[in-house]
Each structure stands twice: as C-alpha cells, then as structure tokens.
Structure 1
Amino acid sequence: MENRKKVAFYTLGCKLNFSETSTIARSFEDEGFDRVDFEEVADMYVINTCSVTENADKQFKQVVKKAMKLNDKAFVAAVGCYAQLKPEELAAVDGVDLVLGATEKFKITDYINDLSKNDFGEVHSCEIADADFYVGSYSIGDRTRAFLKVQDGCDYKCTYCTIPLARGISRSDELNNVLKNAYEISQQNIKEIVLTGVNIGDYGKGEFGNKKHEHTFLELVQELDKVKGIERLRISSIEPNLLKNETIEFVSKSRTFVPHFHIPLQSGSNDILKLMKRRYQREIYTERVNKIREVMPHACIGVDVIVGFPGETDEHFLETYRYLNEMDISYLHVFKYSERDNTEAADMDGVVPENVRVKRSKMMRGLSVKKRRAFYESQLGSTRTVLFESENKEGYIHGFTENYVKVKTPWNPELVNTLHEINLTTIDTDGSVRMEFVAVKV
C-alpha cells in the first residue's frame, strides 16, 4: 500500500468547479491514488482554474508556486476554464506539466503515465465547439452540503463574459441521472444539496446542440422534491428571465427547496443592461423580487452586480445604487469589471478608470453590508431551522438557516451536520446571529 501515489486538488472559482473537482478526484481514487489535502506533500497536484476575474488568473500562479514549495518534483496539472481559454499561457508557468481543455479534463487519468515532470507544459485542448457532450458531477465536501451539477455551458452572448468560450453550448444532464445522483448523495448522510450549473434556468437542453428542452427547470425541481432522504435543496444562481413565477410558487410550498434565491442583476440601468446584452430589463427583475416577497416574505434574495462596465457613467452607477437600495434584497455579490480577452466589452468605448471602479465597488460592498444587516434584523425573533457546519471557529460552531441567515453558538462537535429548530435572538459583533434551541429536528 506504500506505493500508492498521492494526489491533491485546488479549486478556483464557482460551485460548479467544486462539483467537477470532486468528480475528477473520484476518478483518481478509482485508479488507485490516495487523495490528500492541498497543504500536504503529494505526488501530483491538480488545479481547477477559473477565468471569470483577473484575480483568478493571478491566483493560479500563486497556487502552482505553493504546490512546488510542498514538493518541487510533483506533477502539476491544470484543468478548467482558464485552461481552455489560455492553455499556452498556463503551460508556460514554471512547474506546470499538463494543461487539459474542456473536453479532456474528465479524462485526466488517461494522460497520467509515470508522473515525471516535463520540461514544458504539455497541452491537450480542443475547439470549444467540440465540447458538446455532458459529464455529470457532484461534490462531497464537508459532509453538510453537496454541489450537484445539472447543466453546463451557455448560449447567451453577454458582452463581458468568457464562459461560453470556456465551456461551450448549453447542455443538460438527463433528468433520471440527476435524480440518481441526488439519491446517491442522500445516502451519504448529506443534509443539503445545492444545484449548480452555468445557466441552470436553461435546464433541459440535450446534447449535441439540441435546442429542444426535454424537460424544464420547473420539472427538474418538482422531481427532485420527491427524492427520499434529502432534507434540503438550494437553487444556486438563476437568471431573472428564466426564474418563472411557477417555480417561485412551487418553492414556496416545497417539501425540500429552501426560500433562498440568488438572481444576477449586473446593472440596475437598462442602458447598461443593453450594452451587456443581458436578456431582460430591470422591470423583469423587480417583478421577480416582488413575486418572491409576495409568497415568501422571509426569503433570502442575493444579487450579482458588476460595477465599472464600459459606458457606465456616474449617473448609471447611481441609478443602480438607488435601485438596489430601494429593493427588498438581502445581500450583494459585487464584481469590479475587468477586461477579458475575446469579449465584445473589451473593445468598447467609455472605459471607466480603475480608481473609479474601485470606489464604486467599495460603495456597493457597503450597501451589501447594510442590506444583510437589515435582512438579519428582520429575522430576529423568528423560528428557523439551522444546519450546522463542521468547523470550530474561535470556539463557535456556525450554520445557515434555510433562508441563509448565518448563526453561531458555542462549539459542540455533536452538532456537526445536524438540523435543529432555533430562535434567532441577537446580532453579534461579527455580523452573525446568536440563537437559542427550540427542538432537535433531525
């Protein structure tokens, strides 16, 4: 057994990447590798890359450096979005031995021979049009939550986004396979599943560019709600034009789907939404938020917003700021616009100076803190269900309620991965909510 090779993984980017890393890791275990933490000495390091922001590019180099520090003889492979978009650039990073594009990443073990280092990074990439097949994935991390991939790729042509270039056309897993994966996850004492994809509201498109929807997103959630053994299902980011009222209604009465929506807005200005080639105007966004509030007043609503997009004047920015300030939303994910190669936006006029982008980002982040605080305050005195996580943070255990309020209580290892009914009492200085137990639920 001492001859077994050790492999470690590092994931940059989104929940979808985490689900795929986990699936790739299981393929290594099937080939006789032992998986270890990235902080440990390993024979091979696999880095799943992201291309959404400039930071992810820089982070990649830092992660490679970290791996080389742990073992300068280790074999280093790069997969993922950045590996598809700029394979030669990654291959040139000192220490990188193998770079695999979108169609090759799930076959990584086929490319592993003796793990001896290469003088130059070897590249196996593809034309993104070849990425027309679907590989199902799910991640199992800290036992409390799993990410289940249901869809990949995107047919939208947003002017700032590289994801269609990195992941190809929109395609989905078969419904029966999603249900099978969900059932497998439920058998491993995991209490919560988060649905992920690039554009999950577009769920149902088949393989090979088949644009016909075999099933709708609504049918997917209706069927998942019936899977025995799952306590909680959470929808990750979903486009406002694809989040239908029927889905919102269904979630409000669902057995397992929780009242938490993350809906990208990107800008509160219709002028900027047009420049971004988004498929809705802000009036649709307002309708969706109002519908959620009507049937689930206690729901958590998260928002993605990009600041500093080309052509965004001070007026446009303030229009977005005021819009979000008035909206009954719960928190923001703020992205400072960064130019990406081969996107329309990179060649647009009206470039916003970097210092202005930074200032706008800071203002939006401040608004997010205010919104989260107001949402948490609105929940004080209510009874919710919390799922506790596995980390001991300075003597406290944390967890999230069904509507995504972060709570804390003194550390008790017996609480890990258990669901409890609680009362939300006060907001602590770190922004999380203190609680008292009502009853054990599960």
Structure 2
Amino acid sequence: MQKQVAFYTLGCKLNFSETSTIARSFENEGFDRVDFSQRADIYVINTCSVTENADKRFKTIVKQAQKSNPDAFVVAVGCYAQLKPEELADVDGVDLVLGATEKFKITDYLNDLSKNERGEVHSCEIEEADFYVGSYAIGDRTRAFLKVQDGCDYKCTYCTIPLARGISRSDSLENVLKNAKEIASKDIKEIVLTGVNIGDYGKGEFGNKRHEHTFLDLVKALDGVDGIHRLRISSIEPNLLKNETIDFVAQSNSFVPHFHIPLQSGSDVILKQMRRRYLSNLYVDRVKRIKQTMPHACIGVDVIVGFPGETEEHFLETYHFLNELDISYLHVFTYSERDNTLAAEMSNAVPKNIRSKRSKMLRGLSVKKRRAFYESQLGSKRTVLFEGENKSGYIHGFTENYVKVKAPWNPELVNTLHKIELTQIDEDGLVRFEFISQNIMA
C-alpha cells in the first residue's frame, strides 16, 4: 500500500511555497498526500520562529498528529528546526528534525519509519545554507505563492531570520519565469511574489554580492508572461522599493496596485535601535510616490510594538505617524524576545501588559484605516477575483487593490474575474457590489 504523508505549515507565505515543493518531492517518490486532520504514516510540520506563539503552537500540532496516528513518523522542518533543533527533538513524538538545507532532501532521511526514542537531528551550520531551492505553492486554485529569493543580509536587532535562513540569495530569472509559466498553465489567475527580502532580488546563489538582475528586471520580465492575470508583490523593504519599480507597476499589464511595506516603528530613535536601513522620512516618500502614481493603491504596513526602550512618547510618535499617513491597514506584531538577538540583551524591556495595550491601540487604528480606505473606493469600478470557499453562505473575493468583497455563495464564481462597481460596506466591514460584466477572463 502507498504510504500517506500530511503537512502542516506555520508562518509566512514563503513557508507555504516551500511546503509545496517538499510535498511534490514526496509525490515523486510515490507517497499519497492527505489532509493533516487525516490518518497518515508521516506528518511533516514546517515551523516558524518569528514569534513566541509560533514556537508554542508546534507542540499542539505534534499532539494533533499523534492523536490521528500514535505510530506515525513526525518530522519537523523550517526556521524553528534550524534555530533550536535539539529543543524540537526533545518534544514527545518528534522523530526527525531537519535544518535549512536538509529539509529539501527530506525523503533521503526516511529509510526507516520506526518511531525514535528521541528526535534525530540533521542540521547544518547556517553558513552552509548557500544554495537556492526554487518553489511555489498553490493555495486555493485562485492564487499561487512564488518564491523568488531566500535569506537576508540585514542585521535587524530583533530578528532571527538570518540565523534561520542564511545569507540573501536568489532564484535565476530563467527559473522564476519557468515556474510562473507552469503556474499560468494550471489556470491560476494570481501570483504572489514571496521571499525573505524580495527587494534584494538578484544576489547570486552563493552569496555573490554582484546582482545578476535587479528586482525591477524581475518585475518587468514577469509582466511579460502570458496567462497571468495578476501579479502581487507580497512585502518589500521601503529602502529597496525604488521609484522605477513604483512607476512600472503603475503602468504594468499584470502587477496590481497593492504594496505591503514594513515600517516597524514611526520613531527614528527606535528605528536606529532596531538597525533598520531607513528613517521615517523615507517611508513617507515611498507612500507619497505610490499615491501620486496610483491614488487607488492599497498600502499595508508591518509595525512592532513594545520594542525594548520604546517609551510612551516613542509609541505615540508611531501612532500619530501612522494615523496621518495615507495607508490602508496594519499588521501589528507585539515584540517578543528571541534568543541570540541583540534586542533580547537590551535593557528597558517594556512590560508585557503595556505591549498588549499598545498592540490593541494599533489594531484599532488598523480597523479605522481599512474602513476609511474601503469608503474611499465606494462608487469605483474594479475587477474582483473570487475565492473557492463557502463562508456562511457567502463567497469572498479581492479587487486588484485588495478590497475584500462578498456575494451570496455561487460555485460558478470560483476562480473567475469580473468587473464590478463597489456600492456599500456591510456590517461585517466587507464590501458589497454590483456586477458590470460577467467573467471577463474565462
């Protein structure tokens, strides 16, 4: 009988794209992929280490796997597995822990699927993670996450990603285009570009600092691929988002007017302590440039609250900075201490109850910002791509500029694009609309 394998992914879109690549390697070896909630012979958990919460969730997921099949072989891969392999190996039920380079050769380690007394660890020194493995994930038939870059050369004081993923390195332009064409051939309408620091695209496979191509070269080349209706840039550092890229997106065939730009703090004092590579005035310039060229663009922002030394004044500086900025929503992260980072050794830790209060304030601001952005779009004509899930009798979709819309469930709308006019905001905060033309790109 075919052996069955199931996957669980924690963390970012990049992890999802890598899980898909790992899953395809199992399928090539004759394994049958099943849902994580089902009984399987092997459970693979792709871990994240960005927050403390992701670390804690790992144990719960292992228990879930053991409940489905107590004799199953449990494998941990991903960032947490690279950073703290021994810690994961000690978790009851874990049989194998693979680091940053080993995870892509996972089937080589599965000759014997008998349960281990303690997890076996195969983890390289992160300096050895100097090669690139391309990948993409198909989420729900409507969009795919395409990995174009991995690793990071930045030294932000709060971040463990360089320790977990190694130096910045990129896929070749040729391979990115090959993957994009493969995705297009599967009738997927949208590709989201992912990576750790995608604006740094172009650094060679072995940490070669010479850029073979730039991020702008990548964007221009992808814009010419037939069969892709939408391309979305997932997240890009403000110092790497150049005017030329913004101007190109504004007039491109496929790139949508949606940017997600990490800020982390609106206080220059805190930005310097975080060792970010810009100050708040550059961030203002990026937002202004986007809004000048694409007034209807959606701009999302990452922000961290409770960084060591963040006083009430620093926090209010961030709050007012964001309140006055023409942005559309926030992703708010509550700072959590990570081992082997400079920030964890800093004095003036912010008490957890204050971190929590500040986080709540910014989440409230995000709701207000999103509502204001949605209101600004009422009466406008947009294109919507519908998703595949029936949520309480409704189908949801996103416009090109990331307005979330809803309509009564109709399975015929799944994975189709339509011209619509946005008409009103519902009590749940989503937008209702009227069809202008049906299925414009069948």
TM-score interval for Structure 1 and Structure 2 normalised by the shorter chain: over 0.9
SS at match of 2:283: helix
Q: Paired residue for 1:409?
A: 407
Q: Paired residue for 1:390?
A: 388
Q: What is the identity, as a one-letter code, of the residue corresponding to 1:156?
A: Y
Query: Please, what TM-score do these two structures have when normalized by structure 1?
Result: 0.99
In 2: Cα distance, 1:425 partner to 1:44 partner: 49
Q: Paired residue for 1:172?
A: 170
**1:98 counterpart (96, 99, 118):** 96
In 2: Cα distance, 1:124 partner to 1:114 partner: 15
Moved more, 317-326 or 431-440: 431-440
Number of aligned residues: 440
Question: What's the offset of the Cα at 1:350?
Answer: 1.1
Q: Paired residue for 1:438?
A: 436
In 2: Cα distance, 1:393 partner to 1:424 partner: 20
Q: Paired residue for 1:352?
A: 350
Question: What's the offset of the Cα at 1:141?
Answer: 2.1
Q: Paired residue for 2:314?
A: 316
Unaligned runs of 5+ in 2: none
Q: What is the identity, as a one-letter code, of the residue corresponding to 2:320?
A: R
Q: Deviations over 1:129-165 (max 9, x none)?
A: 0000000000012100000000000000000000000
In 2: Cα distance, 1:295 partner to 1:438 partner: 26
Q: Deviations over 1:307-352 (max 9, x none)?
A: 0000100000000000000000000000000000000000001100
In 1: Cα distance, 2:177 partner to 2:343 partner: 39
In 1: Cα distance, 2:140 partner to 2:70 partner: 29
Identity %: 80
In 2: Cα distance, 1:317 partner to 1:359 partner: 11
In 1: Cα distance, 2:68 partner to 2:159 partner: 34
Q: Paired residue for 1:204?
A: 202
Describe how 1:26-37 pairs up with structure 2 within 5 A.
Answer: 26-37=24-35
SS at match of 1:390: coil
Describe how 1:154-173 pairs up with structure 2 within 5 A.
Answer: 154-173=152-171
Q: Paired residue for 2:193?
A: 195
**1:120 counterpart (108, 118, 121):** 118
In 2: Cα distance, 1:308 partner to 1:369 partner: 20
Q: What is the identity, as a one-letter code, of the residue corresponding to 2:22?
A: I
Describe how 1:62-73 pairs up with structure 2 within 5 A.
Answer: 62-73=60-71
Q: Paired residue for 1:257?
A: 255
In 1: Cα distance, 2:207 partner to 2:373 partner: 42
Q: Deviations over 1:252-288 (max 9, x none)?
A: 0000000000000000000000000000000000000
Runs in 1 of length 4+ with deviation above 4 angstroms? none
In 2: Cα distance, 1:219 partner to 1:350 partner: 44
Query: Please, what TM-score do these two structures have when normalized by structure 2?
Result: 0.99
Describe how 1:38-437 pairs up with structure 2 within 5 A.
Answer: 38-437=36-435
Q: What is the identity, as a one-letter code, of the residue corresponding to 1:276?
A: M
In 2: Cα distance, 1:242 partner to 1:352 partner: 30
In 2: Cα distance, 1:134 partner to 1:258 partner: 27
Q: Deviations over 1:347-390 (max 9, x none)?
A: 00110000000000000000000000000000011110000000
Question: What's the offset of the Cα at 1:33?
Answer: 0.5
In 2: Cα distance, 1:185 partner to 1:207 partner: 23
Q: What is the identity, as a one-letter code, of the residue corresponding to 2:31?
A: F
SS at match of 1:193: strand
In 1: Cα distance, 2:378 partner to 2:197 partner: 34
Q: Paired residue for 1:9?
A: 7
SS at match of 2:387: strand
SS at match of 1:205: coil
Root mean square deviation, CA, Å: 0.5
Q: What is the identity, as a one-letter code, of the residue corresponding to 2:163?
A: L
